[in-house]
Amino acid sequence: MALLMSLPLIAQEETTKLDTIYMLGRRKLVVEVRNISSMSVRYSELGSDETITLERKQIQKIIFSNGRKEVFNKPVMMMVEEGDWKTVIITDRKNDVEGLYEMGKVEAKSSAGSRSAKSAKKSARIRLQKKAANVGGMIVLITKEESVGGFGEPPTYVVSGIAYGYEPPKKEDN
């Protein structure tokens, strides 16, 4: 009788309890978290001994198998849909895009109706955000910014950069 009661305990010990990682891009990973450091989270997938590392800045939260929840980053905007140009972040710091996937180069020019240098810059940046959203980008690393036009001429602003996303770009079928 004692042997039969101990069998279910052995079976419970062999099953691995899994943790759930919620990424900022709304992707969900069901894995076994191995280690959390100040800069990264190391995990392995079910049935694999390979350890994969993610940067903490890419993770929204982790819900552990014991029910404990650890929040790393809050979503920027909850009401705006993913892929909306308003969610695209513009930066000039390379470390902001480390570990992200390059989606493509984007360039924008201010609208012809801009009356001041400030409005020309804002117009060009909005157009850049829209182009980045169209290619699936969430962050744009600025590579070039240029203001054109002197006194008496309508101001023009040109900005270009590289769009980055949280997931690899989709392969197009030819």
For 143-160, the three-class secondary structure string (H helix, E strand, C coil) is: EEEEEECCCCCCCEEEEE
Count of the separate structural domains present in the chain: 2
State the CATH number of the domain containing residue 123: 3.30.110.70
* pTM, to two decimals: 0.51
Q: Which residue has the tokens 């650890």?
A: 70
Q: Which residue has the tokens 């690393």?
A: 141
Mean of all residue pLDDT scores within the chain: 82
SS3 12: helix
Most distant pair of Cα atoms in the chain: their distance: 97
Q: Is residue 132 part of a domain?
A: yes
Q: Is residue 126 part of a domain?
A: yes
- Min mean pLDDT across 15-19, 34-38, 133-137 is at 15-19
pLDDT digits (tens, 9 = 90+) for 101-156: 999 999 999 888 778 888 889 999 999 999 998 988 889 999 999 988 767 777 88
